[in-house]
Amino acid sequence: MFNNTETNLLFMESLLSGDVSKAIENQEKRGQSALVNSFSLPIKYGRGNVKDTVEYLNKLKEIGIKVLGDKDDLFMEVELPTGWSLKRTDHSMWSNLVDNKGRERASIFYKAAFYDRDAFINFNRRLHISSEKHDYDEEQFERQPEFITVGYEEVLEKVKEESSYDRDDRYYYGYEDSYEMFSVKKVKKPIQEKNPNYKPLTGYEKYSQPFHFEVYDFDGTVLFKSDIVKTDFEYSKDRHWEFFDHRDQVEEWAKFQCEVWLDMNYLGWKNDLAYWD
């Protein structure tokens, strides 16, 4: 997937455009296109520098993917089951392995940049626990402006006159010098007052608010929700570590509820290949 032609193309594009970063970005997009139009999968499984692991090859065999042999230092040629394919995502470094039902069964990372080529694959579980879901109004924790506009007033503003036309709201004022004429124009100026809701934020307020975790299916269907939890006290600088230690415990408890529910209803949920059929 990477050869001298690609190197020459990168060099010429960088030379002609003068934008090396854009040329590398285009190289990565071409790498993605080459991948999704091929019958190749990464040799490395997971984010670690692991190649041809027994676990990986066994998973491919169980899915029905036949390994034909290495293609280069990063990829091997494979034979996909009928109806399976590789699909691009909006990010040039990520693509998906999609099964015959249109489900994303694995995520594939491929960075085609010449200076840091890398590729690996991670399989997707059908059932998994979501990141924390906020049970509060997030907007109230955005930094509020110190001053807000409460109205407008009309003022006269001196402007350079560029044309004798379109002066319906201007008052002819005179000449700045013998060559340049100017006038005044009515403009609306905002009237600002101190925002009653303003308060300096430390950036930690949101961590004191309630949240929960969810179990959801591959298509986003929510199957279970944990209890809504929160820390027992507000954040303060002198209790920083105590606060976050306690919050970690609360978070683990919410996640644990999801794990218990999964273990009771889908005992093999941690298996990447379970419950797809």
State which H helix or E strand residue 109 sits in: strand 104-111
Domain ranges for the chain? 4-124, 133-140+201-265, 154-194
User: What averages of pLDDT result for each successive group of 10 residues across the chain (277 residues)?
Assistant: 52 55 61 64 79 84 91 88 89 90 93 80 94 88 83 81 50 48 79 86 87 96 97 89 96 97 96 93
Backbone angles phi, psi at 22, to 5 degrees: -65, -40
> How confident is the model at residue 177, as a pLDDT?
47
> How confident is the model at residue 246, as a pLDDT?
96
DSSP tally for the chain: helices H, then strands E: 4, 15
> How confident is the model at residue 172, as a pLDDT?
47
Region for residue 69 given its phi and psi (left: phi exceeds 0; alpha: psi -120 to 50; beta: otherwise): left
User: Among candidates 75, 60, 199, 76, which has minimal Cα distance to 141?
Assistant: 199
User: Among candidates 73, 4, 68, 75, which has minimal Cα distance to 34?
Assistant: 75
User: Among candidates 269, 273, 220, 218, which has minimal Cα distance to 102?
Assistant: 218
Contacts of 46 by beta carbon, 8 Å cutoff, 6+ apart? 120, 121, 122
> How confident is the model at residue 90, as a pLDDT?
86
- Taking the whole predicted model, whether its pTM rises above 0.75 is answered as no
Contacts of 89 by beta carbon, 8 Å cutoff, 6+ apart? 95, 96
Token duo for residue 259: 């794990």
User: Among candidates 98, 116, 107, 122, which has minimal Cα distance to 28?
Assistant: 116
User: Among candidates 75, 80, 143, which has minimal Cα distance to 109?
Assistant: 75
> How confident is the model at residue 242, as a pLDDT?
95
